[in-house]
Amino acid sequence: MSTAIGVALFFDGTPFCREGGIACPFRGEPFEFGAVSDLPSHTLWVTNCSVEDLVKANLHRNPKIAHNGYYKTRLDQIVNELGLATFNPFERAALLAELLGISAEMAKLQLGFAQHPVRGLAQAVGQLYGLPDCADGSAVQQVATLASQRYTQCERPRRLERPEVFSFWMPRYEWAQKLLNAPLPSNETLQVIPPHSLPSNGQDAAQLVEWAKENRIPLFAKIRIHALEENVGRLLNYGAGANAVTSQTADGGAVTVRNSREWCALPELEVLAESGDIELERVAMSTGWVSPGLHPYANKLAPVSYAYGIVAENLWAGVMRRPDQTGRVSRNLSTAWLQAEDRMHCLRVAERIGDLGMDVISYGNGRVTVACPVAVRNLIPKVAREQGVLYPASLKDLPHYEPRSDIPMQVLQHLINTGSHAQMNEVNKTLLQMMREAHEAK
């Protein structure tokens, strides 16, 4: 771990850039560097390089270098969300260093870190609060593995000319609050429920969903999909009987791909039961519920703080990581359930967005990525407000809606739209000070 943190932005986004880039430490001044060796070693430098490029450059084990997904949301995505791409490199580095430095300090206070974790914030959360894998080779692990899916890459039946590609994202604080406040299935054992103990002898998926929800049963089901409503099938992009997926290879050849789905958690089964003909082959339940014991910091400013939103996203993402040094996603029932909650909510948002004429590229991990044709781009603010999601400042000349001061998401969206970075920074600094005072009062 490191005591200081900063950002290092290579001019071409790779560690192989001969021109180097611009770096800025938290609460410091930006400076130009020519190579990694020019960066002070006492600081953890979060770069705009992918982990793959750092591996190629043999920098992935360098304790002062972190990849662009250190905060889970990549640096280029943050630049896009805040509309920083048009800023000069020195100003961009300074803004990112201040924002992400505050996020890092907030994480240290909430999680009790003495120094900044080297391998990523979500991995560090996992070491403290992550749930371990189920026993290797066990039936529980097999079901958890088959029911897990972090995000979905959608079938796209058309290719638009010059669309704007961007992501809507869930308000990070509220989304973390929803996911972390809900109980998760325990991971010790699975108990098969015989058909005669199920409503309609296990012949009706919709009735099974209602029964499980009413009785608060942590239910998993092995299913066979015979048919799905066309739009949902294209978005879900998987399964026996679901829509086939046509893609292209690098050389232009056609290939058909399927994401198979055998087992699913109750949140996913609920969506499937509403959208198609689902056969239940086997139904099982976890023996109880657990709580990760981790919650977002409770403060009225927290939902409006972009910096704390970054922290909150890493809380729920970190709960799904193994409590070890690998940082890999755990294979257990809790993780499969949490992924299903996230992905199915994103699916519902993606449905509405798709209905307006945008092409959904992918969804999950709290965001929906789309290709938006010019003809419907003015609908972006309207659908974002209706669906309770945010959209990036990189989208110019949109008819933004008038925010309500009592809805934090809309206040944050207004700050993003108007480029009010100084005001956003004041919110972040004020919340950080409140967290410090609360920490010192303990």
Based on the domain organization, do 342 and 383 belong to the same domain?
A: yes
DSSP-derived letter for residue 116 is: B
Q: Which pLDDT belongs to residue 238?
A: 59
Q: Which pLDDT belongs to residue 258?
A: 42
pLDDT in tens, 341-386: 999 999 999 999 999 999 999 999 999 999 999 999 999 999 999 9
Q: What is the chain's alpha carbon radius of gyration, rounded to the nearest angstrom?
A: 23
pLDDT in tens, 260-286: 568 999 999 999 999 989 999 999 999
Based on the domain organization, do 86 and 21 belong to the same domain?
A: yes
Based on the domain organization, do 108 and 147 belong to the same domain?
A: no
For residue 171, is it within any domain? Answer: no
CB atoms within 10 A of CB 361: 18
Based on the domain organization, do 125 and 149 belong to the same domain?
A: no
Residues 6+ apart with CB under 8 A from 376: 356, 357, 358
Distance CA 84, CA 80 (A): 6
Closest CA to 25 of 75, 82, 100, 83: 100
Distance CA 126, CA 234 (A): 33
Residue 259, pLDDT above cutoff 60: no
For residue 174, is it within any domain? Answer: no
Q: Which pLDDT belongs to residue 298?
A: 95
Cα dihedral 28/34/38/44 (nearest 10): 60
Based on the domain organization, do 282 and 316 belong to the same domain?
A: no
Based on the domain organization, do 113 and 225 belong to the same domain?
A: no
Based on the domain organization, do 274 and 344 belong to the same domain?
A: no
Based on the domain organization, do 149 and 274 belong to the same domain?
A: yes
Q: Which pLDDT belongs to residue 187?
A: 93
Distance CA 389, CA 351 (A): 14
For residue 117, is it within any domain? Answer: yes
CB atoms within 10 A of CB 440: 8
Based on the domain organization, do 152 and 260 belong to the same domain?
A: yes
CB atoms within 10 A of CB 208: 25
pLDDT in tens, 25-48: 999 999 999 999 999 999 999 999
For residue 86, is it within any domain? Answer: yes
Based on the domain organization, do 274 and 306 belong to the same domain?
A: no
pLDDT band at 61 (very low <50, low <70, confident <90, very high): confident
Based on the domain organization, do 29 and 108 belong to the same domain?
A: yes
Based on the domain organization, do 198 and 232 belong to the same domain?
A: yes
Single out the residue in 290, 313, 341 at which a domain terminates: 290
Residues 6+ apart with CB under 8 A from 22: 8, 9, 11, 30, 31, 32, 33, 89, 90, 92, 93
Q: Which pLDDT belongs to residue 254?
A: 47
Single out the residue in 290, 316, 339 at which a domain terminates: 290
pLDDT in tens, 384-396: 999 999 999 999 9
Average of pLDDT values for 155-160? 68
Q: Which pLDDT belongs to residue 232?
A: 87
Phi first, then psi: give them for residue 141, nearest 5 degrees: -65, -40
3 state SS of 247: strand
Bin 267: left if φ > 0, else alpha if -120 < ψ < 50, else beta: alpha
Q: Which pLDDT belongs to residue 266?
A: 98
Quote the pTM value: 0.92
For residue 397, is it within any domain? Answer: yes
Q: Which pLDDT belongs to residue 442?
A: 77
Q: Which pLDDT belongs to residue 243?
A: 41
Residue 315, pLDDT above cutoff 50: yes
Structural domain span for residue 388: 4-133+300-441
For residue 40, is it within any domain? Answer: yes
Mean predicted lDDT score pLDDT of the chain: 92
Average of pLDDT values for 331-341? 96
Single out the residue in 271, 290, 309 at which a domain terminates: 290
Number of domains within the chain: 2
For residue 20, is it within any domain? Answer: yes
pLDDT band at 161 (very low <50, low <70, confident <90, very high): confident
CB 147 within 8 A of CB 220: yes
For residue 172, is it within any domain? Answer: no
Average of pLDDT values for 145-164? 80
pLDDT in tens, 106-126: 999 999 999 999 989 999 999
pLDDT in tens, 391-429: 999 999 999 999 999 999 999 999 999 999 999 999 999
Q: Which pLDDT belongs to residue 260?
A: 53
Report the share of the chain in percent with pLDDT over 90.
82
Measured in whole angstroms, the distance separating CA 42 from the mean position of its chain's CA atoms is 30
Residue 21, pLDDT above cutoff 70: yes
